[in-house]
Each structure stands twice: as structure tokens, then as C-alpha cells.
Amino acid sequence: MSLVRLHDLTLGYERRPAVHHLDGAFDEARVTAVVGPNGSGKSTLLKGLAGALAPLSGRVDRSGLKPNQIAYLPQDHGVDRDFPMTIGELVGLGLWGRRGLFGAVTHQDRHRIEDAMSAVGLSGFEDRALGSVSGGQLQRALFARVLVQDARLILLDEPFTALDARTTDDLIALVKRWPSEGRTVVMVLHDLDMVRDTCADTLLLAREKVSWAPTEQALAPENLLTARRLSEAWSDGAGICHRDHAA
Amino acid sequence: MSAVHSGAEFALPMALAGGLALALGGAPLGVLLIARRMSLVGDALSHGILPGAALAYLIAGPDPVAMTIGALLAGFVVAGLSSLLARTKRLPEDAAFAVFYLSALALGVLILGRNANAEMVFDLLFGAAKGLDTTALLVSAGAATATLFALALFIRGFLAESADPVFMRASGLPGGLLHLLLMLLVALNLVAGFRAFGALMTVGLMMIPAAASRFWARTYVGQAGTAVLISALSSGAGLFLAHRFGAEPGATMTLTAASLFALSALVGSNNGLLQNLPGRTHLEG
């Protein structure tokens, strides 16, 4: 069963499409990789799935998911390292969806934060300042926040970039567990070996859909070649897209 | 111009109470502004309140209540329009503030030009503690109470929205509204202080202790508490000096705060200069 359906979805900036006329569905309780060359619209697609970017045309059907049931970890995470906040408080932001502006943080919530920090190997880091931890440790904390969010749809944009092998292995183990908990994961990745190892399905994107299928099928050599060719067909002098008018 | 004011003209206990109210309300806001990298927004807003105060002066004469309401309205308009423009992502926030506060300042100058003397402009920008009467004190106390109340209610949202705006927007937080509320609180505190200590000097008491507090604490609560303490100390010592030597209280308070900032930067326990002297023994882990 699909959790998120895309209907002729075009996403972009200043009327220029970065994702062009995309149709398809993300199945529930599966891990789907989004793969493609630089500039192929992967991050834009995740932004659109998260609801952080409105479509230029078409629509995203999220099966009625509320914003707090979606966890989104962007590539450029936007956390200000100078902000006077502890790692524990950052992880605690994941409670936002359930507790809102005024809800009290319960004993159970505190346990949830502790458990999440322990799951990513950050026990004892609760009181450390944001600016005092490494990039990898901050990424672990952001994963812990995703755990605290307890979301049904999890969107991860290149979550393992610049992480060491141990951290990557630990976090991948978490991701692999999520489908069995009924969570749907969409993850932008570059490492094709990692995609084959971790993701049941793959969407190969080059602004348009090249292939959206079980991973081995999607990553067939001819598809990869097509993706490379399409992404290089970008034009600065592009005119109006007539497919919009035909639709 | 400064000869117009004499330090002996103000009642010390009244001024001390006003300074304390400003410390309680303003300093925690200053810490938030610095954390959001918006240190100069207070400065911009303090200029932005000028046309409101000037227009009130034009209509009602030197009536403290009218001028306070006028300044407050102008501050809200500048804060609201700047935040709105920045939220549309058409312009960076500091640029939006620059456009509106400079326009407001020019409007204020235009209104005041034919209708006021230099002393009045001086009082507006740099203050006159002699103007600290019961009404002004009530306004200050009201602003401090409203600020602390709002902070207690919304602090989780303010911090979350400042630390990770992308995440909070995706989680459905009303970030724009919280941001606007923060700007309105800043305007409220500036207006509460401007009649006694001047719009510009009030910003000093809001921002300098907040900057100093970063050398003592790492978390928001720690920094806000330290900033209140430094701000209250600056007010007390500055007012005492002004009273004793017949100086401008706004200036002595701000300079006292600056001295405490220098001291904090030097000996502060959180990354103070002396903490990081070359040759100091390093820690184990």
C-alpha cells in the first residue's frame, strides 16, 4: 500500500522546474532511495514531500499525514552551531509535534529522549553545547531527534555525508529497522553499494523519472546512463513547458 | 545640549526601579536577538519609534502617555512590516529593517523639523531620567511583566524557531507569528525605556549585557539570567554615577555595561580571553 502518491508533480524555484512531471508512489513500510546526478532534483523532491516547498504544478497526496508525522532531515540541516542550546535540548525538539507550544514534557518524554540518545551512541552528551560537538556527533543527535519524533514518514537527504564508517554503520542499522516498525523511509543517497544494501526500492531521478522500481532493476546500467544524459540537458534559456498546457 | 539636563534632577529610587524593570524585560530579549544573529535589529527599531513619538508630540504636546503610545505604534509598524517583508524571502531580514527604520527615521525628522527644539530630539534618542515619573515607571514595569510572561509562555517556541527554523517549519510551528511576537516585545521594551534613558541607550542596556553573558554561560537560561544580573548592575552603578556627578544616566549606564562586557570577555568562565591563553595546561578529555 502506498503512503505518499505523486500526481504529475513539478517542483522548482522561480518557475523553473527542478523535478519535472513526476508520477508514482512511495510504498508504506519500505525504504526507497532517491538517486541521481547532481542537480537532478533529489533534494527538491524531499523538500516537496516534507511540505517545505509548494508544487509549481501537480500535487503530493500524503494520505492525510500531519506535519508532525513527517520527520525531515535536510542535507543543509540549518542548525546554528552557535545557538545557546544543549544536545539534549536539540533532541527534545523532536517532541514538538506531540507537545506543541504549551504541553508539559513528561517523565516518559525524558525517557524517550534518553533512549534515542543511547540508540545513536550519544549517552552522556545531553548537557554538551551544540558548538562543542563534532559534525558526526551532531548528525547522530539529529538522528536521535528523528527517533524522538516517532514519525510515520522519514525523509533523509544525504544523511551519511562526511560521517565515519562506524557512525554510518550505526545509523544504517537504525534505518534498516524502521520498516519493521511500520515507518516509510525516503532517503537521498550517492553510494550505490549502500543503496543496494539498504533500500528495497529506488527512484532514479534526472529532473524526470528515469526509473522507479525495485533497486536492482532501477540501477540497471542503461538507466544510469540515461540519467546522466538527461541531467546534462539543462538549459538556461528554457521556454514555457507545453506539457502543463496539454494536461 | 547636555547642559540642559542635570543628574541631580532625577529621583534615584525611581530611576533604579525603572532600570531594574528594563533589565528584567530587555536583557533576556537581547540574548535571544544575539542568538538569532539579529544584534542590530534593536538599534534599528529604536530609530523606528521616532515618528510615532514625534507625531504624538505634534498632536498632544509633550504628553508622556501620548508619546509612549505613539512610539509603541510606530515600533510595531516597523517591526511588523520588516518581519513580513523578510518572511516573504524577498529580502534578508537586516535589509528589510534597514529600509523601514531609515524611512521611519526620516519621517520622524520631517515631523519634528518644524515643531520641536533640539532638546526634545536629544531627549528622545538619549533620554532624560528626569522624565521618569510614576507613569513612565508603570509603563516600564508593565513592559517587563508582559515580556517575562510572554517568555515564560513561548520560550520553547522562540528557542526552537531560532535554533533550527527549517525543522520547526516542517513540524508545523507558527514560526512567523513567534518571530513577530519577539519583535513586538523588543519594541515594547525599547518604548518602555526610551523616555527615561533614551531609545538608543535602552538598546545598549538590552544588547551589551546579553553579549557579555555569552562569556559566562552556554545555555539560554544561563545567559538570560547572567544578562539580567549584568544589566541590573549596570543600571544601578550607572544611575548612581549619573546622580553623583550630574551626568546623563543613559550614557553612564551603557558605559558601565560596556565595562562589565570588557571584564567578562577577559575573565569570563566560558571562553574568556584568559581561559585560552597560550601555554595554559590543557584538559584530559
| A61 and A160, same domain (yes or no) | yes
ipTM of the complex: 0.74
| Residue A185: predicted pLDDT | 97
**Can you tell me which residue has the cell 544510469?**
A224
Domain assignment of residue A170, yes or no = no
Domain assignment of residue A125, yes or no = yes
| A21 and A48, same domain (yes or no) | yes
| A9 and A60, same domain (yes or no) | yes
Helix (H) or strand (E) holding A49: helix A42-50
Domain assignment of residue A173, yes or no = no
User: CATH no. for residue A209?
Assistant: 3.40.50.300
Contact A184, A26 (CB under 8 A): yes
| A126 and A156, same domain (yes or no) | no
| Residue B131: predicted pLDDT | 66
The CATH number that domain B2-268 falls under is 1.10.3470.10
| Residue A152: predicted pLDDT | 94
Chain B residue with CA closest to A79: the answer is B164
Q: A 111-140 residues with CB below 8 A of B?
A: 129-130
| A43 and A115, same domain (yes or no) | no
Q: What is the mean pLDDT of each run of 10 residues along chain B (285 residues)?
A: 48 88 95 90 87 85 81 90 79 84 87 70 68 80 94 89 81 82 92 81 93 94 96 95 88 95 95 83 73
CA distance A58 to chain B (A): 20
CA distance A238 to chain B (A): 23
Q: Where are the domains of chain B?
A: 2-268
| A156 and A42, same domain (yes or no) | yes
Q: At what angle do helices B175-197 and B249-267 cross, to 10 degrees?
A: 120
| A159 and A230, same domain (yes or no) | yes
Domain assignment of residue A71, yes or no = no
Output the average pLDDT for chain B: 85
C-alpha cell at A172: 544504517
A74 touches chain B (CB under 8 A): yes
Q: What's the rounded Cα separation, in Å, for the pair B68 and A28?
A: 58
| A90 and A1, same domain (yes or no) | no
| Residue B2: predicted pLDDT | 41
DSSP A62: -
The two counts, helices (H) then strands (E), for chain B are 12, 0
Other Cβ atoms closer than 10 A to B246 = 14
Q: Which residues of chain A have pLDDT under 50?
A: 247
| Residue B7: predicted pLDDT | 44
Domain assignment of residue A169, yes or no = no
| A156 and A229, same domain (yes or no) | yes
At B86, which amino acid appears? A
| A105 and A158, same domain (yes or no) | no
Which of B101, B106, B58 minimizes the C-alpha distance to B79? Answer: B101
| A147 and A193, same domain (yes or no) | no
Structural domain boundaries, residue A131: 78-151
Tell me the C-alpha to C-alpha distance, in Å, between residue A96 and each of A58, A88, A91, A130, B150: 30, 14, 10, 19, 19
| Residue A242: predicted pLDDT | 72
The domain tally of chain A equals: 2
Which of A68, A67, A49, A54 minimizes the C-alpha distance to A5? Answer: A49
Name the residue among A52, A79, A82 with its Cβ closest to that of B170: A52
**pLDDT, tens only, A13-72:** 878 889 999 999 999 999 999 999 988 999 999 999 998 889 999 999 999 898 889 999
Contacts of A82 in chain B (CB under 8 A): 35
| Residue A111: predicted pLDDT | 93
Structure-derived torsion over alpha carbons of residues B227, B230, B235, B240, reported in degrees to the nearest 10: 180
| A53 and A83, same domain (yes or no) | no
